[in-house]
A and B are shown apart, each in its own frame.
Chain A
């Protein structure tokens, strides 16, 4: 059963970033955004091949209608967030800084739903049918990676999966979207977990939640009584929400280097993906909206909003009451691994968990100086790499040394750069080394 109140000891390494930000938005209920005039649905947001549009400019579409079909196995469907007319299939500024293809829909105000999938009884349906439903509804990992969920839930037959882990850790500062989801829709999360467990045919279901979300832990524990779902409280540590470290903390196994969680017999999914799974199976709803934390000290009314995919950034900020001063940074995601935006015309996608605004003062605060070999980066790295030596090797163009010191294992979590007193741009250095080594491998 699941009355376990043990605080699970986590991984060696990791850091405790100062987190005064969660309190800005964690106690306010999630609000649903009103219908907007235009939605720009990004086409290439998921890992794998981007889906191919199945509508043309000028077509009328209904809400939940398929507008782009998956191209191959590792690809995800895309559905219209509202009813209206397709006005453009072109490029918009993307969250990675480069223009991205998108389908622009002008809403007609009626929000008319197209035909939905028929509800399934997950307890009796064939697991293959459940997977197909998940693929049809365009589910992707909503924690940030946006890996198509049906691929994750169909591990190759040679990998024996015996554990399902739901990621409710939300270790990034400022973000509270998953927290609010677990408080407001706990039943859907638990049902989603059980659906996924049925698909994978596993009996060991765990939901990992950091202990700073005690109310979520308790509410889920109450609901999970009587089922085989275990709620595991985790010590607050960054990056507890990383797949590999979640598996180490909960299942006690290490994913081998270069391998996937399935190699350690586990499948990890975000709690939001689980809730979306419940919607897809029990109500036949494709994935068109998600909870996004719009927050920051300079946001007038920080909080969580249920936004439809394709919501333009400025509209999301307008919902949050606008800003009190000109921001220095607009981040998609959390402050540790999020992407700084250079354009205001970027739309929300399925994997945008938060919009965080930082002041210019905070953005320009520290200047990089030289390394003093204090070793804090080595202590903090969750992958146990010698970040200090790696960075020096990369700065001097020694790609061979970088590879020897396992730079390809870096998960770019940012722990090293956070604790560095010299404020060296360590993550950028690691990324440039990985890019160079991948180029050379070709």
Chain B
């Protein structure tokens, strides 16, 4: 059968052969595609932020992203690294948007600028670039700004729909050029703690955490950072991240769950010391931190059990800082502290390799 076609069969010459190790096929996924998917997952939170806080928030998001990309390009020029591949993997853009979601909406232009340099230079490039940083770059920037210019970083704008009749959080301050308000956590933090289970203790936080208020907090009608207020947007973002297989579901679940459980237990026995757990869940940056910050691939442990340990640690630290710490908000610090422990977690929480039997002492052969 082949004799007939022998004459016009085109055979390879072997002049263009590529030599490489197996495997010779690979997934079409790339780092850039992953970063773009993360950006898509952050779009609902950005949109909610712009809806509630106006075009000012959009400006902050855009500035932050542009400055982060610029900071990365500048670093590449100074360090004589190729600019194209480094900026082209879109990780700077992701850091920019994440940083913006962590900033109050009324920050002046220099805050995203300083934040961009803190995040990209100090938080990422100094360690060796993408994949080498032990700390979440956006959180490094946020904590750096918080400690350096706390006044600017704790000035909150009232969201759309918040008015004088808003009970409990009505500390509006009419300053010269802007209206500011307090966040629920800030207000709760101001109240003096009452130990015990007396009636006074039970009513200590009642004004801040009534059912009606909690509903409003859920939908995003409270002061806060651009991305942290609207829970449905964040949850939609989480669902998108799960759908793209970008994060480990254990981290947000265990993080939020741990905070819920710890504050729930404390609130049950000592209701005057801390508000109810649902309040904790819906205020502050807990959902944003649990869904977008703690789950950052580079700073998250590799195995499932490691992620659980990491998330529980974050939850414990957040609860401790919120209940007994000086800061009203503990999420950023707790995530940074647990990031420092991730190499240790990676070493301790490895899967049992195939074919090994765990000795009785729990030691893998």
Whether the pair A375, B24 counts as a contact (CB closer than 8 A) is no
Q: Is B298 part of the binding interface, using a Cβ–Cβ cutoff of 8 Å?
A: yes
Task: Specify which chain B residues have a CB less than 8 angstroms from the CB of A255 in the assembled complex.
Answer: 355
Across chains A and B, the number of contacting residue pairs, with CB separation under 8 Å, is 195
Whether the pair A318, B303 counts as a contact (CB closer than 8 A) is no
Given contacts A340-B19, A421-B31, contact A370 B131 (CB under 8 A): yes
- Distance A412 CA – B34 CA, assembled complex (angstroms): 26
Binds B, one of A43-51, A196-204, A229-237, A384-392: A384-392
Given contacts A331-B24, A374-B34, contact A314 B302 (CB under 8 A): no
Q: Is A420 part of the binding interface, using a Cβ–Cβ cutoff of 8 Å?
A: yes
Encode A336-377 as 1/0 by CB contact (under 8 A) with B.
111111111000000000001110101111100111111100
Whether the pair B129, A370 counts as a contact (CB closer than 8 A) is yes
Beta-carbon nearest neighbor of A319 in chain B: B2
Min CB distance, B123 to chain A, in Å? 15
Q: Is B359 part of the binding interface, using a Cβ–Cβ cutoff of 8 Å?
A: no
Q: Is A335 part of the binding interface, using a Cβ–Cβ cutoff of 8 Å?
A: yes
From 1 to 35 in chain B, residues with beta carbon under 8 angstroms from any chain A beta carbon are: 1-3, 5-6, 9-31, 33-34
Beta-carbon nearest neighbor of A377 in chain B: B302
Q: How many chain B residues touch A (Cβ–Cβ < 8 Å)?
A: 55
Beta-carbon nearest neighbor of A19 in chain B: B25
- Distance A326 CA – B13 CA, assembled complex (angstroms): 7
Whether the pair A383, B13 counts as a contact (CB closer than 8 A) is no
Interface-centre pick from B3, B20, B353 (highest chain A CB count, 10 A): B353
Contact of A412 among B10, B13, B22 (CB under 8 A): B22
Whether the pair B16, A328 counts as a contact (CB closer than 8 A) is yes
Task: Specify which chain B residues have a CB less than 8 angstroms from the CB of A155 in the assembled complex.
Answer: none
Whether the pair A341, B17 counts as a contact (CB closer than 8 A) is yes
Interface residues on A, range: 35 or more
- Distance A336 CA – B34 CA, assembled complex (angstroms): 23
Beta-carbon nearest neighbor of B351 in chain A: A384
Min CB distance, B133 to chain A, in Å? 10
Beta-carbon nearest neighbor of B299 in chain A: A373
Given contacts A257-B355, A423-B26, contact A342 B19 (CB under 8 A): yes
Q: Is A124 part of the binding interface, using a Cβ–Cβ cutoff of 8 Å?
A: no
Min CB distance, A315 to chain B, in Å? 9
Min CB distance, B124 to chain A, in Å? 12
From 268 to 283 in chain B, residues with beta carbon under 8 angstroms from any chain A beta carbon are: none
Whether the pair B11, A329 counts as a contact (CB closer than 8 A) is no
Given contacts A369-B31, A373-B298, contact A257 B365 (CB under 8 A): yes
Beta-carbon nearest neighbor of A341 in chain B: B17
Q: Is A321 part of the binding interface, using a Cβ–Cβ cutoff of 8 Å?
A: yes
Encode B235-254 as 1/0 by CB contact (under 8 A) with A.
00000000000101000000
Whether the pair A417, B30 counts as a contact (CB closer than 8 A) is no
Whether the pair A418, B18 counts as a contact (CB closer than 8 A) is no
Whether the pair A372, B248 counts as a contact (CB closer than 8 A) is no
Min CB distance, B203 to chain A, in Å? 47
- Distance A279 CA – B215 CA, assembled complex (angstroms): 77
Q: Is A127 part of the binding interface, using a Cβ–Cβ cutoff of 8 Å?
A: no
Task: Specify which chain B residues have a CB less than 8 angstroms from the CB of A326 in the assembled complex.
Answer: 12-13, 15-16
Encode B112-131 as 1/0 by CB contact (under 8 A) with A.
00000000000000000111
- Distance A366 CA – B27 CA, assembled complex (angstroms): 10
Whether the pair B131, A344 counts as a contact (CB closer than 8 A) is no
- Distance A331 CA – B26 CA, assembled complex (angstroms): 15
Whether the pair A386, B131 counts as a contact (CB closer than 8 A) is no
Min CB distance, A433 to chain B, in Å? 13
Whether the pair B24, A323 counts as a contact (CB closer than 8 A) is no
Whether the pair B22, A336 counts as a contact (CB closer than 8 A) is yes
Whether the pair A173, B9 counts as a contact (CB closer than 8 A) is no
Task: Specify which chain B residues have a CB less than 8 angstroms from the CB of A369 in the assembled complex.
Answer: 31, 85, 89, 130
Task: Specify which chain A residues have a CB less than 8 angstroms from the CB of B33 in the assembled complex.
Answer: 421
Contact of A425 among B21, B129, B248, B355 (CB under 8 A): B21
Whether the pair A317, B12 counts as a contact (CB closer than 8 A) is yes
Contact of A427 among B2, B21, B34 (CB under 8 A): B21
Encode B265-307 as 1/0 by CB contact (under 8 A) with A.
0000000000000000000000000000000011110110000
Task: Specify which chain B residues have a CB less than 8 angstroms from the CB of A34 in the assembled complex.
Answer: 1-3
Encode B144-176 as 1/0 by CB contact (under 8 A) with A.
000000000000000000000000000000000
Q: Is A406 part of the binding interface, using a Cβ–Cβ cutoff of 8 Å?
A: yes
Task: Specify which chain A residues have a CB less than 8 angstroms from the CB of B24 in the assembled complex.
Answer: 329, 331, 335-336, 338, 340, 356, 358, 363
Given contacts A331-B24, A371-B131, A431-B21, contact A383 B353 (CB under 8 A): yes
Beta-carbon nearest neighbor of A173 in chain B: B25
Min CB distance, B363 to chain A, in Å? 13
Encode A107-145 as 1/0 by CB contact (under 8 A) with B.
000000000000000000000000000000000000000
Task: Specify which chain B residues have a CB less than 8 angstroms from the CB of A382 in the assembled complex.
Answer: 354
Beta-carbon nearest neighbor of A258 in chain B: B355
Min CB distance, B266 to chain A, in Å? 33
Whether the pair B27, A418 counts as a contact (CB closer than 8 A) is yes
Whether the pair A375, B12 counts as a contact (CB closer than 8 A) is no
Whether the pair B351, A372 counts as a contact (CB closer than 8 A) is no
Given contacts A314-B11, A373-B298, A378-B302, contact A418 B23 (CB under 8 A): yes
Q: Is A428 part of the binding interface, using a Cβ–Cβ cutoff of 8 Å?
A: yes
Min CB distance, A352 to chain B, in Å? 15
- Distance A195 CA – B224 CA, assembled complex (angstroms): 75
Contact of A386 among B21, B85, B300, B346 (CB under 8 A): B346
The list of the 6 closest CB pairs from A to B, nearest first, reads A414-B23, A322-B9, A257-B355, A428-B21, A363-B18, A384-B351
B residues in contact (CB < 8 Å) with A: 1-3, 5-6, 9-31, 33-34, 85, 89, 91, 129-132, 246, 248, 297-300, 302-303, 346, 350-357, 365
A327-B12, A384-B351 known, 8 other contacts, Cβ within 8 Å: A257-B354, A318-B2, A322-B10, A326-B12, A336-B23, A373-B131, A385-B353, A427-B21
| CB-defined A-B contacts under 8 Å, sample of 25 | A11-B354, A17-B27, A34-B1, A256-B357, A257-B365, A258-B355, A322-B11, A323-B10, A323-B12, A335-B25, A336-B23, A337-B22, A339-B22, A344-B14, A356-B24, A369-B85, A370-B131, A373-B298, A374-B246, A382-B354, A386-B350, A409-B353, A419-B26, A419-B29, A421-B33
